[in-house]
Amino acid sequence: MNLYIVVPSLEYLNQAGTRIRYRRIQESLQSLGARLEMVDIDTVSLQENYEGDLYIFSKCYDARAIILAKHLRAKGKVIATDIFDDYFSQVNDPRFVRLRSWFNQLVENCNFVLCSTIKMQNVIHHFYPDKKVHVLNDPYLCFEHDALAETLERKLAAAQNTMCIKIAWFGMGDNPNFKVGLQDLVAFSHYLEPIVNSEFKVELSILTNKRAMTTENLELLKSLPINFYLDEWTERKESILLEESLVSFLPVNFQNFSIVKSMNRAITALTAGTQVLSVGDDLYQALGEFVYRSPNDLLNNLRSGKLLLSSKTLTKLDKLLDTLANPMIEAQKLSDFISQFQNVEQKHTQQGKFVLCVINGKESSNSVNQLTKKLNGLSVKTPFTKSNNQFDVIVEVINNKLVFYVKEEVTKLLGKRVQGYISQRLSINKSLYFKVNLALIEELNCPIEFINFGSSIFSDTSDYPVIVKSIFSILEAVFPNSELVFSEQSKSGWWLS
């Protein structure tokens, strides 16, 4: 089976998420006869022959994923999406309406959903109880028992001899939507105080992404109870830091976004030979006996020379990680899971059987439009669309009523009867369009009159969901066998009922 992981852009191919989650199982999958490749969404859409059997969309948070999923399904491909960030359970947060709408549309076209934790699986099942969801744990890079045993002994001896505890904090320091990362480090830093006040010297090193190093965050770091060394994260610097550190400090806050995260940070820390001190949410509960929840326990164990992770406990950790992060085992479980879809009969099996209509909301990217065109879909401009692109269908509100224009070459896709309702031809942006008289479509059972439209931002906001719904109804009425995709990236207050 050929698996394609579809990421939003070329840059994502080298990001930590891709590196940890997919590259680490690539080899194991190969040995099981499954080929895993990673490719950016624009490259996939340019392929002439779609060679994959299974396409898994990862972090492709715009309508391109939905469009391509529909297209690939029609070609008999198995479709999935990998969800490892919870942007969906914050139902009171309007910033995520667009993502909930995106997920809702994508999941309909997926044979299954992949995720990285049981808790994330629970979130998905809460919204889609019948959807098949597979938990693919983030696997570790390597587990070298002997080298690790040596590292652990060296670190213990060094800490006891120099009376110095080297603490590491590493990873993404921010998130565009939530207060996480460096803010967690500062918020939970009082847990470091017993260590700072102990007989040991303490050195804290922080490796994080450049974007997180805002004045606000850096100023916050000043309130840490110890001096620190800060540097920009790279894979290499992380591995050097963990090689030198006795402890990784992993605070986790309690918001929905944080409590469903994968355990990869703790697993990276343990398999690199650092102790883990985790405070806040007990995200790493499954690693229980290898995770310190109290700094005093860590101090006491250091004094007695019996740290939780030591050359003596490594075999136990190895065994535990088999169930949580072993790349071979994770690959095997994934392979077993996806085998059920090998001969699946898809909803659409022939290309061209449906008319793909992509409805552009307030903000919809050019790349969505380009993909629509590439797949011979129809791009639809709503009265809210800001873009000046060429659209195949234009819906406007004129004299309080919805008016529906189709481009000349699109008229052939209209239902036979609807072609008879064309009432006017006119030029818009130097292209020829035809107006369809909506009043003549008998089966149309949706509002097309909006008396307050355009009078204020308030009326437009309240009209928004109704107009969009009407456009859905109109498209379904005029184009037989239409498949509709809604593309909206705006974060401003809007909703679809």
Residues near other proteins (CB under 8 A) are 210, 213-215, 218-219, 221-222, 227-232
Closer to other proteins by CB, 173 or 327: give it: 173
CB of 170 to other proteins, least distance (A): 15
Closer to other proteins by CB, 173 or 361: give it: 173
CB of 212 to other proteins, least distance (A): 9
What length does the chain have?
A: 497
Residue 168 CB burial class (10 angstroms; 0-12, 13-18, ≥19)? buried
Closer to other proteins by CB, 117 or 189: give it: 189
Q: How far apart (Å, rounded) are the C-alpha atoms in residues 381 and 361?
A: 8
CB of 217 to other proteins, least distance (A): 9
CB of 215 to other proteins, least distance (A): 4
Helices 63-74, 97-108: crossing angle, 10 deg rounding: 0
Closer to other proteins by CB, 229 or 495: give it: 229
CA-based nearest residue to 290, from 450, 152, 196: 152
CB of 16 to other proteins, least distance (A): 19
Torsions phi, psi for 40 (to 5 deg):
-80, 155
Residue 21 makes CB contacts below 8 A (sequence gap 6+) with: 58, 82, 84, 116, 136, 138, 139
**How many other C-beta atoms are found inside a 10 Å radius of the C-beta of residue 18?**
17
CB of 227 to other proteins, least distance (A): 6
Closer to other proteins by CB, 210 or 416: give it: 210
Q: Can you read off the two tokens belonging to residue 68?
A: 């391509």
| Residue 11 per-residue DSSP state | G
- CA distances (Å), origin 482, targets 239, 378, 415, 472: 52, 10, 11, 10
Closer to other proteins by CB, 210 or 412: give it: 210
- CA distances (Å), origin 117, targets 18, 131, 279: 16, 16, 19
CB of 163 to other proteins, least distance (A): 16
Angle at 359 between CA 356 and CA 361, to 5 degrees: 160
Closer to other proteins by CB, 1 or 172: give it: 172
CB of 252 to other proteins, least distance (A): 24
CB of 219 to other proteins, least distance (A): 5
Closer to other proteins by CB, 228 or 257: give it: 228
Q: How far apart (Å, rounded) are the C-alpha atoms in residues 242 and 237?
A: 9
Residue 192 makes CB contacts below 8 A (sequence gap 6+) with: 167, 202, 204, 224, 225, 226, 249, 295
